[in-house]
Each structure stands twice: as C-alpha cells, then as structure tokens.
Amino acid sequence: MEDRDNPFLVFENSASLFAVDALYVRETFSLPEITPLEETPPCVVGVINLRGRIVPVMDLNLLFGRAPGKYRLSDCVIVLDLNGERLGIIVNEARDVMLIPAEDMDPAPFPGMHDLPHPPFVVAEARVGEDIIMILDHERLMAHGGGFERPSEEPEMGEGESESSFTPPHPLFCALEPAEKAEFHRRAALLMLKGEDETPLGSRQVAVIDLGGEYFGIGLESVREFTRITNLTPLPNCPEHVVGNMNLRGSILTLLDLRALLEMLPGRFGRSARVVVVSVEGITAGIAVDEIHDIASLSPSDIAPLPASARQAIGNTAQGTARYGDGAMTILDIDEILRKESLNAGGE
C-alpha cells in the first residue's frame, strides 16, 4: 500500500465539527451511564468501567467552557488510546473517517493567545467542502483529561446481583426520564461484561459497516475516508457490482456494491447510505454501504475462521468473523477484493 497521511475521525459536538487522528481511536460506542469520581479535572464528568478498566470520560463542552447540556441517547463516546492509557470523549455524533491533506489545513487561529492555563487543544483548522473542521491534539487531550486510568476494583455484575450495588450516576443523568435512565444504565452494564481481557499487541482497527442488514468489518489501514454518495453517474453495460462513477472533490471514484460478491440479495441504497473510500496498492475505489456504525479494535484471538458454508459462498473476499454487539460481523479482505480483475476493470 502506498504511503499516505493518517486518517482523521470527524465528529460533531454542539453544532461544531472536530477531528482527531483516527489511529489513536480505540473504539466508539453509544453513551452509557457515567459514574462520578472525586478529584478529577473539571472537564471530566466521571468514569466508565470498560471491560474491567476504569476509563475517565471528558465532556468537550466543559473543556471549552460551555455549559453542559442534557445527555441524549443518540450521544456517543470516542475512546482514545495513547501508549495504553485511555480517555473517553462524549460527542453528539461520530460522523466520518477521512483523509485530510496537509494543504487543506491552516494553523489554529489566534496563535497569540498565550494566557491560556494550558496549551491549546485545537491545533489546526481543515477546509473540507463547505465545512470547517477543528483538529484536536490527542496528546494534549490525554494529558489534560486522562492519566489516572486504573484497573477496576469493582466486580462485574453477575446474574442475580442487585442493581442497587452500583455507584450513583453523574447528576446530569439524574434529570432524565426513567426510560432514558434505564437505557443508559443497561449500556453501562453491557460495557462491564463485554468481551474478554484485551491484548493490545497485534490488535487491528476495523470500520464496522452495515450492508443489507449484516455487519462487516473493513480494516482501517485500507480506509482513506468516509463520505456520502453525491454526484453519481451510472455506467451502462457494467457488472452488477459497479454502481457508477462518483465525483469526489474533482476526482472520479468508481463506486462498488459488494452484495453480489458476498452472495447477498440485491437492494437499493437509501438516503443514509455512505461510501467507504479504500485504497490498496494504488487502486482506489468507493464501497457503498447502508450505514457506518463505528470503529472497533480486534485482537487476533477475536477473529475466527469463516464457516465452511460461508467459505464456499464468498471465497477469498473475507478473512474471518468476529463478535460485534449481540451478533457477528464478517471481516472483509479489501486487498483481495480490489485486486480482483473484474473490479479493477471497472466494467471494461
């Protein structure tokens, strides 16, 4: 694969767009109940028990001096990982993973503001179409809000244990409706019980996507960016896996639908459909998907071989399966898919 800049995870918070280096994003998930902890920085609203590890959680509104808003079920947490230390960041929506060229970035404004009690967290501003995205320094975020992660001293909740043994949640969760409280609490309990002990060595990050109601994983090392389907031109006399050509900021991108390759029923992409732009050894293409869920980190032991029936159906287009949520996802072999002559030809 050719050398390229690191991708960034773009997210929205309080109607502003931010981005962090995606290589330091461990995972994302829906916002759970957060437990307050004494003697934390003011921007840290509490901690979560993430599979036996206590991880501090930062509210960007508090970090930037805004009043904290009511937490919503649609909010999510982005977990950063720097040399084994973790920090969660509450955001309204994790939107895209995209490659932002250096020439599209400008230094952060107001460089003369030296009276801040800490180094600035916004280190650059990127121009992407009509949007302005503020680039955050992950190291400064970790230094300001992390640094006290430690193993959990609380046992995981087993069957039949009383929920009353939990520490009360953060006050911002107490003003919610009972159904909302119950859902946040359920999410926190699932995070405590989810998965086995982590093995960071050899771990791999994948973008979890939905295609035809099934989960698939695409290795983040092959992903250049996520985007929406725009300016699509259908191509006549093309194989069924070629949707058409798309204009991506002045470049022509061939858009592919993998359902035929994966022995899935044909379907149509709705308004929420997205494009995963992938690049392997100079070959770049867009993969149309129904939805992009999050970025997950998998250790080698998390990936199991494909069942024999699946191997016969999809051949070398997948590398294995892994657990995701209450179900499973298939890990796609994007290198093999893009090398296939039928795709490389783009219908010629």
Residues 161-186: tens digit of each pLDDT: 443 334 455 666 666 788 888 888 88
Residue 29 token pair? 């998930």
Same domain for 217 and 180, yes or no, is no
Q: How many of the other CB atoms lie within 10 Å of CB of 164?
A: 5
Tokens of 335: 């290198």
Claim to verify: residue 156 and residue 243 sit in the same structural domain: no
Residue 199 lies in a domain: no
Q: Is 1 part of any domain?
A: no
189 and 268 part of one domain: no
Using H for helix, E for strand and C for coil, what is the string for the chain? CCCCCCEEEEEEECCEEEEEEHHHEEEEEECCCCECCCCCCCCEEEEEEECCEEEEEEEHHHHCCCCCCCCCCCCEEEEEEECCEEEEEEECEEEEEEECCHHHEEECCCCCCCCCCCCCCEEEEEEECCEEEEEECHHHHHHHHCCCCEECCCCCCCCCCCHHHCCCCCHHHHCCCHHHHHHHHHHHHHHHHCCCCCCCCCCEEEEEEEECCEEEEEEHHHEEEEEECCCEECCCCCCCCEEEEEEECCEEEEEECCCCCCCCCCCCCCCCCEEEEEEECCEEEEEEECEEEEEEEECHHHCECCCHHHHHHHHHHEEEEEEECCEEEEEECHHHHHHCHHHHCCCC
Number of domains in the chain: 2
Per-position b or e across 92-130, b if 16+ CB within 10 A of its CB: bebbbbbbbeeeebeebeeeeeeeeeeeebbbbbbebee
pLDDT of residue 156: 45
Same-domain check for residues 15 and 123 = yes
Show which of 172, 193, 214 is a domain's final residue: 193
One domain, residues 24 and 162 = yes
Instruction: List the structure tokens of 121.
Output: 């967290």
Residues 164 and 260 in one domain: no
* Rounded Cα–Cα distance for residues 320 and 332 (Å): 8
CATH code for the domain in which residue 279 is found:
2.40.50.180
Q: Are residues 84 and 220 in the same domain?
A: no
pLDDT of residue 164: 37
Q: How far apart are CA 156 and CA 195, in angstroms?
A: 12
Taking the CA atoms of 130, 235, 257 and 344 in sequence, report the sign of the dihedral they define.
negative
Burial class (CB in 10 A: 0-12, 13-18, 19+), 86: buried
Q: Domain check: are 312 and 185 in the same one?
A: no
- The pTM of this model reads 0.59
Please report whether residue 2 resides in a domain. no
Strand order in the sheet with 105-107: 93-99, 7-13, 16-21, 131-136, 122-128, 105-107
* Residue 24 shares a structural domain with residue 110: yes
pLDDT of residue 134: 93
Domain end point (choices 168, 193, 218): 193
291, 219: one domain:
yes
Domain edge (last residue) among 193, 221, 242: 193
Domain that holds residue 215: 204-344
Any domain includes 198: no
Query: Which pLDDT score is estimated for 314?
Result: 72
Residue 287 amino acid letter: I
pLDDT tens for the chain, 348 residues long, are 333 456 888 999 988 999 999 888 888 888 999 988 777 788 898 899 988 889 999 999 888 888 777 888 889 999 998 888 899 999 998 887 777 877 888 887 665 455 555 678 998 999 887 889 999 999 999 888 765 444 444 444 444 444 333 445 566 666 678 888 888 888 888 888 755 444 444 678 888 889 988 999 998 888 888 888 888 888 887 777 888 898 887 788 888 888 878 878 877 887 778 898 888 888 889 999 988 887 787 888 888 887 766 666 676 788 888 988 778 899 998 888 887 644 444 444
In degrees and rounded to multiples of 5, residue 156 shows phi and psi of -70, 150
The answer to whether residues 144 and 91 belong to one domain is yes
Tokens of 139: 């190291």
